[in-house]
Structure 1
């Protein structure tokens, strides 16, 4: 997986896109212009003045005419989100699922999300219940809908906490 902190763009002349250079973001537009001018890709006598992104390595699509400044701002915002505890894979997943927009507010967008690290749905349920203050904080409707009373009763008997009498009553041991 390509990380937001390792995004690279290949910038070249519009007329000859292959005549260019790879840059790792963030990069100043003036540096891009200077390097491409020194390389002879753009500038006086080349017939090429405009630049474009003809290739990239990123966890999302980049338009050939995307603003380098906009890309830099987005990368800086993503870096701030990572510094605040959101890992790169989660950031990519949030984008893939349409939960964050790629702009200069990524860090603010993820700050408003509750992100729970869980191995599976069982871990998720346990974490949510713990964060809410325990099972006692669930409503009766939630408990009736999601709690497996039959299994719990069965486990109470198997665990030796209760025994079943012949006519259906139960006794705590």
Structure 2
């Protein structure tokens, strides 16, 4: 899993004069290291993030200390949450990356469940609703069963599996 956050930070005063002074940083990194490397000082104290590598959007003026905190907490986030971050943020369950970091248990994850038939089969095989004798499992419309369950739970399919708000 590629769980690093990198940002390209430029000295805004120099950028505005056409004399770009910037560098890539893999977070977390102390702000004074950034300031020193891009030449910030008393007269040139403004900076701007002009590029980034992360599975979420980073704005030009996002708080670097906040981004450092996120980067420091990434190792505590289960891989399946990080791999599905965009889907989770788009689902409405999490409002932000910080929200996910603070409450990773807000979702239940079923890996490799990528469509209604997969979900229905999982539910039947794990006796989720009722114990179904093997002789009857072939008569269950697992696609419909999975679809009904998905609608009733507000669950959703993501890149690597199915998520349910816990």
Structure 2 residue runs of 5 or longer lacking an equivalent are 133-138, 142-166
Pair 1:86 & 2:88 matched: no
SS at match of 2:10: strand
8 A Cα contact 2:12 2:47, kept in partner: yes
Which of structures 1 and 2 has the bigger CA Rg?
A: 1
Pair 1:14 & 2:9 matched: no
Structure 1 residue runs of 5 or longer lacking an equivalent are 139-145, 149-173
Pair 1:99 & 2:97 matched: no
Pair 1:62 & 2:58 matched: yes
If the length of structure 1 is used for normalisation, what is the TM-score? Answer: 0.61
8 A Cα contact 2:9 2:49, kept in partner: yes
8 A Cα contact 2:56 2:85, kept in partner: no
1:90 CA displacement: 1.6
Other-structure match for 2:123: 128
Pair 1:52 & 2:52 matched: no
Count of matched residue pairs: 130
Summarize deviations over 1:120-172 as a string: whole Å, max 9, x none: 321212223445x344269xxxxxxx945xxxxxxxxxxxxxxxxxxxxxxxx
Summarize deviations over 1:52-100 as a string: whole Å, max 9, x none: 2122122222111111111122233333112xx5253222321243432
- Structure with more contact order per residue of length (Cα contacts < 8 Å, sep ≥ 6): 2
Which structure features the higher share of strand residues? 2
If the length of structure 2 is used for normalisation, what is the TM-score? Answer: 0.63
The 3 A distance-change label for structure 1 pair 61 and 107 is closer
